[in-house]
Structure formats: structure tokens, C-alpha cells
């Protein structure tokens, strides 16, 4: 089964650093002299008139693409996307997203697509993020937010990813809780139980250095 050149980034939950890790991945690919574009098909939550996830991905991209392609659905409220869309009398159409992705994929070597919320969050009345991943047919990278409960969340998410028929490309341990106890032991447990390689451990930084931290992402398992 042929796949377009790109990756689909999902997470164990909302707020685990999908955008952050997507930007690190874009930076790491760019350092390999690849042209890259970050895509956020559905953004929920506007801040000071901007959708910050979209702006961060655009800043990490090396190719300038129309924002309407990068972000076909920009929703105002920071809530579940199907509810936010309903509030604005919008129905999210995955085919529209797929068409935007196909156009973007002609403009860069790699497209990094960031999902919304967790892997099963609804996007409309009958589809969820897993349906979007299946439609785009990209290798999946799982971001695990390292905090209490992360083992269960990671294993459940990985089981669902496998159930959709994907072989996950890799996972990233994102240290979002500076006070998380037994971090090393949790990472060892996940390395033993997750069915794909650990691509990197991203330490907690109050003000992250994206360029420097991208060195911690091992993209050799992807290329």
C-alpha cells in the first residue's frame, strides 16, 4: 500500500504536545535538506485572533502554503471539534481535508499532519480522528505526554491505532510534567510494551528551544 510522503501525529490526549513535537519533526526533516510543510486540518481554539497551533506549524515549515490548505477548519472554541463546529453551523468534511492534503503534498518533500485531540475524538456526527488518519493513509507517530496515567493512555491509543490497520512508525516521550515521578521507569515500561521504536525523549523546558530539541528526534527510523 503506497503512502504519500508524510506523517500523521496523534497523541495520548489533548495537551500532550502534538504541535510541539510536530514542529520538532519538521525541524529535524529540514535539517536533512527536505522541504517540509506542517498541516493542522482542524484547529479548535482561537487566541488573540490566531490559531496558535497553525501559526507554530507554519513557522516551522520551509514552504509557504495557503493557510486555507494548511488549516481547512479553523474553529473558535477550544472544545471538542464536532461541538465547536456545530456551534458555528459547520460540518467537518474529511474529503475536503484530503483534497487540501493532496495539494500540499505536491509542494514539499514531506507533510507533517497534526491530528486534533486524541485518536478517537469525534470530528463530525459519524467520524473521528482515526477516520481522518485512515483517509490520509500516513505512517502514524504517537506523542505520549509523560505524566501520571500515561502508560494506560499510551497502550490504549496504540491498541486502537493497530486496530485501524496501521503499523505505527514510532513514538515520542514528551516530558510535560517536570514533577512526574519515576519518569525513567515509565519510559522503560512503554519501550517494552509499545510496538514501535522510541524516536526520542523530549525533556521539559519552560521555554523550549525547538532547534536544539529537534536534535533529540531520531528520524532515521522514518526515512
Residues labelled as active-site residues: 40
The angle subtended at Cα 212 by Cα 206 and Cα 218, nearest 5°, is 115
Give residues with Cβ within 8 angstroms of 199, minimum separation 6.
141, 170, 171, 172, 217, 218, 219, 221, 222
**Spatial CA neighbour of 147 closest among 170, 175, 119, 172:** 175
3-state secondary structure of 223: coil
Q: Torsion angle of alpha carbons 141, 134, 192, 114, nearest 10°?
A: 20
Q: What is d(CA 194, CA 171) in angstroms, rounded to the nearest whole number?
A: 8
The residue assigned the cell 520551509 is 62
At 9, phi and psi to the nearest 5? -100, 120
Cell numbers found for residue 197? 521504536
Amino acid at each position: 500500500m503506497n503512502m504519500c510522503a508524510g506523517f500523521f501525529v496523534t497523541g495520548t490526549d489533548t495537551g500532550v504536545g502534538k504541535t510541539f513535537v510536530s514542529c520538532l519533526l519538521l525541524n529535524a526533516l529540514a535539517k536533512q535538506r527536505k522541504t517540509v510543510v506542517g498541516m493542522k486540518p482542524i484547529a479548535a481554539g482561537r487566541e488573540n485572533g490566531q490559531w496558535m497551533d497553525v501559526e507554530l506549524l507554519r513557522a516551522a515549515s520551509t514552504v509557504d502554503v495557503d493557510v486555507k490548505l494548511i488549516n481547512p477548519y479553523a474553529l473558535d472554541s477550544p472544545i471538542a471539534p464536532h461541538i465547536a463546529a456545530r456551534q458555528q453551523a459547520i460540518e467537518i468534511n474529511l474529503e475536503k481535508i484530503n483534497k487540501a492534503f493532496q495539494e500540499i503534498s505536491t509542494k514539499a518533500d514531506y507533510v507533517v499532519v497534526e491530528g486534533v485531540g486524541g485518536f478517537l475524538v469525534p470530528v463530525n456526527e459519524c467520524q473521528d480522528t482515526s477516520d481522518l488518519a485512515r483517509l490520509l493513509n500516513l505512517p502514524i507517530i504517537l506523542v505520549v505526554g509523560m505524566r501520571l496515567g500515561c502508560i494506560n493512555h499510551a497502550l490504549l491509543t496504540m491498541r486502537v491505532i493497530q486496530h485501524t490497520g496501521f503499523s505505527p512508525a514510532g513514538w515520542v516521550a514528551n516530558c510535560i510534567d517536570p514533577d512526574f515521578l519515576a519518569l525513567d521507569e515509565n519510559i522503560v515500561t512503554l519501550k517494552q510494551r509499545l510496538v514501535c521504536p522510541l524516536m526520542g525523549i523530549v525533556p521539559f523546558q519552560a521555554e523550549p528551544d525547538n532547534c536544539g530539541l529537534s536534535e533529540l528526534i531520531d528520524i532515521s527510523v522514518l526515512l
